[in-house]
Amino acid sequence: MTEPLIYEISRPGRRAVSLPACDVPATPLPAGCERADLPLPEVPEVDLVRHYVRLSQMNHGIDTGFYPLGSCTMKLNPKVNEVAARLTGFAALHPLQPENSVQGAMALMYELQEMLAEIAGFAAVTLQPAAGAHGELTGVLIMRKYLYDRGETQRDVILVPDSAHGTNPATTSMSGLRVVQVSSDARGNVDLDVLRELLARHGPKLVGMMLTNPNTLGLFDEHVAEVVRLVHEAGGLMYGDGANFNAILGIVKPGDLGFDVMHYNLHKTFSTPHGGGGPGSGAVGVSAALADYLPGPIVAKSEADSLYRWHMPPRTIGRVKAFYGNFGVLVRAYTYLRMLGAKGLRAVSENAVLNANYLQARLRGVYPIPHGDRTCMHEFVAQGILKDAPDIHTMDIAKRLMDFGMHPPTVYFPLIVPEALMIEPTETESKETLDTFVDVMRQIAEEARTEPELLHDAPHNAPVKRLDEVKAAKDLVLCYAPGCG
Ligand SMILES: *Cc1c(COP(=O)(O)O)cnc(C)c1O
């Protein structure tokens, strides 16, 4: 790092603000609130601005370059969403305001609930959960409570395919249930024979199954109807991980397929910036039988006076979030849906699938694609394995991509594909950008054979080189100051 950090350029007495003279009586802070030793950097405004702009430039974002991070749906977040979310009437609301003063915000939430229910074929939706994983936990708790209420308290098993996102087994464990893994067949579907055998063994203990469809191989399960039928027959419920909903908007309704519960990733499919981890929204939709179990408050509309009211469903699992969910994300999702309409929404998925298949077709023969004989949905999984370059791994290819101003795909996931490179271009990228990506991926494959050290030493231009990623994630240094971190 060549640029000085803000503490190094700090000089006593420099200021980034000039406040007007105080025209109210000075009031001392309550005892214990004052600190004599608060080491804040002292810099003028120009250096302060440079510091933050520089930090922002160290990050790769969807606004700076291509971002084919599989399963994360890093699509354009239309700027009109931001305009809507910043409208004072939304942004300046207080969650403790009385209902009659926030009818506009409640109308937005009500209509969003209704639109999401319609798009996925569910009877009711809660907007409370703050992320996809949080929606999963909510969904699993709903399934469990529903079965408890029917006296089926012995049920404690959830089936999860081996292609599932790590959050699926994690949320199942957090809810106190047991995870049993289901393997995939040679075509990347749930293995029906294995499923039948597991149902024979665990049927009476089954809470249900969590299925991502299309799955994390980017494949629409060819037997999804049969999977749902078998799980229902065993007395279980079907949970849909809706993080991959971007592939089927306006084409397939998970509720029509027989799913009982699903979470939506509003920040993925419905366009809220979500690099860096938040805020998000993991709204949950359910069938009519489960509607009474949703966490609230949800928004209900009164027939009598057309007013919106906060409503706690009668058998609710309780609250899962303070107040009313991440409202700003809800405004963005609402704006996105209203701008697109039903036809536009379907076009989103058609183009997302088209773009992914275009990339898959053009990279065939350059990198191995285990299920490349099938039409993919919005993403596909290639492998960072190259003939004549045995020392090159997926991580080398991913890091080399950064030298070309592109974010790497998701790597080493799903776990069932060795050296996985999971590529999701999204619908908002042009053919030219996709072609550039293919050119770069071809060039990297060539370099792997001719100049492998270029890949081993990559990235060459990033602010930091190869990190110990586990240490970076688990052993965070959250502050920089003399004597700290
Ligand atoms: C992103 C994702 C999740 C989790 O969503 P978060 O909002 O990150 O908690 C779950 N399943 C799949 C398939 C995902 O891609």
Q: Which atom of ligand 1 is nearest to the CA of 73?
A: 15
Q: Whose CA is nearest to atom 3 of ligand 1?
A: 132
Q: Which atom of ligand 1 is nearest to the CA of 135?
A: 9
Q: Evaluate: CB of 280 within 6 angstroms of ligand 1.
A: yes
Does the pLDDT at position 403 exceed 50? yes
Q: Which atom of ligand 1 is nearest to the CA of 267?
A: 7
pLDDT in the model for residue 476: 83
Decide: 202 and 184 in contact? Cβ < 8 Å.
no
Does the pLDDT at position 5 exceed 80? no
Q: Whose CA is nearest to atom 15 of ligand 1?
A: 71
pLDDT in the model for residue 2: 56
Contacts of 311 (CB under 8 A, 6+ apart): 296, 297, 298, 299, 300
pLDDT in the model for residue 485: 45
Q: Evaluate: CB of 172 within 6 angstroms of ligand 1.
A: no
Q: How far is the CA of 229 from the centre of ligand 1 (A)?
A: 25
Tokens in use for 471? 């240490």
Q: Evaluate: CB of 282 within 6 angstroms of ligand 1.
A: yes
Domain 81-339 fold: Aspartate Aminotransferase; domain 2 (3.40.640)
Task: Choose among 245, 276, 248: nearest CA to 63.
Answer: 276
Q: Evaluate: CB of 329 within 6 angstroms of ligand 1.
A: no
pLDDT in the model for residue 40: 85
pLDDT in the model for residue 484: 55
How buried is residue 184: exposed, middle or buried, by Cβ count under 10 Å (0-12/13-18/19+)?
buried
Q: Are strands 206-212 and 157-161 parallel, antiparallel or unpaired?
A: parallel
Does the pLDDT at position 482 exceed 70? no
Chain segment 258-291, per-residue pLDDT in tens? 999 999 999 999 999 998 777 899 999 999 999 9
Does the pLDDT at position 119 exceed 90? yes
- Residues 336-349 have a mean pLDDT of 98
Q: Give the span between the Cα atoms of 136 and 14, in whole angstroms.
A: 50
pLDDT in the model for residue 46: 95
User: Counting every residue, how long is the chain?
Assistant: 485
Q: How far is the CA of 274 from the centre of ligand 1 (A)?
A: 11
Does the pLDDT at position 358 exceed 50? yes
Does the pLDDT at position 8 exceed 90? no
Residue limits of CATH 3.40.640.10 in the chain: 81-339
Q: Which atom of ligand 1 is nearest to the CA of 244?
A: 13
Decide: 383 and 419 in contact? Cβ < 8 Å.
yes
Chain segment 217-262, per-residue pLDDT in tens? 999 999 999 999 999 999 999 999 999 999 999 999 999 999 999 9
pLDDT in the model for residue 3: 66
pLDDT in the model for residue 275: 80
**CATH numeric code, 341-460:** 3.90.1150.10
In this prediction, residue 55 has a pLDDT band, given cuts at 50, 70 and 90, of confident
What is the share, in percent, of the chain residues with pLDDT greater than 90? 86
Q: Give the span between the Cα atoms of 444 and 363, in whole angstroms.
A: 12
Q: How far is the CA of 417 from the centre of ligand 1 (A)?
A: 19
Does the pLDDT at position 481 exceed 90? no
Does the pLDDT at position 400 exceed 50? yes
Does the pLDDT at position 478 exceed 90? no
Other CB atoms within 10 A of residue 324 CB: 20
pLDDT in the model for residue 76: 96
In this prediction, residue 1 has a pLDDT band, given cuts at 50, 70 and 90, of very low
Mean pLDDT of the chain, nearest integer: 94
pLDDT in the model for residue 37: 81
Q: Which atom of ligand 1 is nearest to the CA of 71?
A: 15
Q: Whose CA is nearest to atom 7 of ligand 1?
A: 132
Q: Which atom of ligand 1 is nearest to the CA of 280?
A: 7
- Residues 150-159 have a mean pLDDT of 97
Q: Give the span between the Cα atoms of 337 and 327, in whole angstroms.
A: 15
Residue limits of CATH 3.90.1150.10 in the chain: 341-460
